[in-house]
Amino acid sequence: MPKNQQETHKIQAWSLINRKYLGQGVRVKRFRRPTRSQIRNRVLLAVLMAKDMKLSRLAEELSVSSRSVSAWVYEGRIPSRTNLDKVCRHLGYPPHVLFNEALVRQSPIVCQPTPSRFMKRTLAHSPQRNAILTGLCMVYDFSVTDVSIWIGVHPGTFRKWLHHCHLPTPALQEKAENFFRIPRHILFADCEHH
- Angle (CA) 18 20 22, round 5°: 50
Chain segment 21-42, per-residue pLDDT in tens:
444 444 444 555 554 447 889 9
Give residue 111's pLDDT. 72
Please name which of 49, 11, 9, 6 lies closest in space to residue 29, comparing C-alpha atoms: 49
pTM of the full structure: 0.74
- Give residue-wise pLDDT tens across range 104-143: 888 777 777 777 777 766 665 566 688 999 999 988 889 9
For residue 77, pLDDT beyond 70: yes
Cα 79 to Cα 67, 73, 182, distances in angstroms: 12, 11, 21
Res 66: pLDDT:
92
